[in-house]
Amino acid sequence: MQKQLLESLFNPKGPFEGNELQNISCIQDGSKNKAWKLDLSDGRKFFAKTGDKHMLQAESKSLKKLSSWADHSLIIVPKPYLVQEISGTSLLLTPWLDLTGGDQILLGRGLALIHKKSAEQSPGNFGWDSDGYIGLGPQPGGWIKDWGECFVQLRLIPQMKIATKWGLEIRDFESLLIDLVDFLNQHSPSPSLVHGDLWSGNASVLLDGRGALIDPASWWADREVDIAMSKLFGGFSKSFYEGYEEIWPLKPKAHERVEIYNLYHLLNHANIFGGSYQKQSISSLERIKRQVSYEKDKKELA
């Protein structure tokens, strides 16, 4: 069935008519998404993924946005050819990228330029114009001018509401959520277009040394959310951060916001996968609560 779906793109009435599909290689056979490498008779290669229509549409939108801000001499974001529903199945088609584990300095520079260039022409508000997804979890849309309010209202609270199903008590952290708004506003970030799901599986290096970004969950945010997530699961080299700092250095106290921004992803993982992520989320909330309370007391005594 899946092979027939892919072959239908290259029939006489399909969007790539005139090219023969010579080879189909399955590279991912998950329960939610399946993915293939497609080789055409004219030498071109494509990446194809099937899955939920709305998720693929959200991913396609993010890819297009990131690609439009990318300096392609430094970093590649594969611009989607199509999202198409065929025989009840939805498919996303993008160019194939030949990836390697090379030096990440251009990846860092390229990401910094996306952040910097987009911030210079940002919409002026934080958020996104439609609902999307963070992995398999929901990522609500909406626009809020105040950064702290945006992160708390559109990112933390929706995840925390889901987390009540496994035992998280929001009332235990109500004062923290109020204080976080002010704490996050103190460094006055500008809205940047961010990847939004920047773990090592979604970033790599091409054979020619340029960086590559895939599977984004983009929105307009404090650029530090991308750098924070890059540290959550590891996999990014020293040269990645050096390359980033060459283009747009982070503020001196950026490290103080890393755990706060990564709480969003911990909660999302806890809500999807359960297990140890739930305990990690509670522990992180408690640490952040102490951190923000300390900073608040220090500010009041100053």
pLDDT, tens only, 33-65:
789 999 988 888 999 998 999 999 999 999 999
Helix, strand, or coil (residue 82): strand
Listed as own residue / partner, the contacts of 238-241 with beta carbons closer than 8 Å and 24 or more positions apart are 239/103, 239/104, 239/105, 239/108, 240/104, 240/105, 240/107, 240/108, 241/108
pLDDT, tens only, 111-145:
999 999 999 999 999 999 999 999 999 999 999 99
Say which of 39, 182, 197, 208 is annotated catalytic.
Answer: 197
Residue at which a domain ends, from 96, 126, 159: 96
User: Which residue segment(s) compose the domain that 281 sits in?
Assistant: 100-301
The answer on 105 and 232 residing in a single domain is yes
Confidence (pLDDT) at 208: 95
CA 225 – CA 257 distance, rounded (Å): 9
The answer on 238 and 128 residing in a single domain is yes
CA 223 – CA 211 distance, rounded (Å): 18
Structure tokens at 75: 């970093």
The answer on 57 and 181 residing in a single domain is no
Structure tokens at 212: 């590559």
Within 13 Å of residue 272, how many CA atoms lie on the same side as its CB? 13
Confidence (pLDDT) at 16: 60
Residue at which a domain ends, from 64, 81, 96: 96
Each residue's pLDDT expressed in tens, for the chain with a length of 302 residues: 456 666 666 655 555 666 678 888 888 876 567 899 999 888 889 999 989 999 999 999 999 999 999 999 999 999 999 998 877 788 999 999 999 878 999 999 999 999 999 999 999 999 999 999 999 999 999 999 999 999 999 999 999 999 999 999 999 999 999 999 999 999 999 999 999 999 999 999 999 999 999 999 999 999 999 999 999 999 999 999 999 999 999 999 999 999 999 999 999 999 999 999 999 999 999 999 999 998 888 777 76
CA 137 – CA 204 distance, rounded (Å): 23
| CATH classification at residue 196 | 3.90.1200.10
The answer on 284 and 157 residing in a single domain is yes
CA 176 – CA 95 distance, rounded (Å): 44
The answer on 104 and 92 residing in a single domain is no
The answer on 50 and 181 residing in a single domain is no
The answer on 73 and 190 residing in a single domain is no
The answer on 153 and 59 residing in a single domain is no
Confidence (pLDDT) at 1: 46
| CATH classification at residue 77 | 3.30.200.20
The answer on 27 and 161 residing in a single domain is no
Domain count of the chain?
A: 2
Contact criterion met (CB below 8 Å) for 92 and 59: yes
R_g of the chain, CA atoms, integer Å: 21
Residue at which a domain ends, from 41, 69, 96: 96
The answer on 127 and 105 residing in a single domain is yes
What type of residue sits at position 239? S
Rounded alpha-carbon distances, angstroms, from residue 103 to 23, 139, 229, 234, 235: 31, 32, 19, 15, 12
The answer on 222 and 111 residing in a single domain is yes
Structure tokens at 85: 């529903």
Q: What are the start-end ranges of the H helices in 84-219?
A: 105-120, 147-150, 157-163, 174-185
The answer on 104 and 86 residing in a single domain is no
Task: Examine the residue annotation and report whether 52 is marked as an active-site residue of this protein.
Answer: no
CA 216 – CA 226 distance, rounded (Å): 11
| Sign, CA torsion 154/193/179/262 | positive
Structure tokens at 146: 């105040």
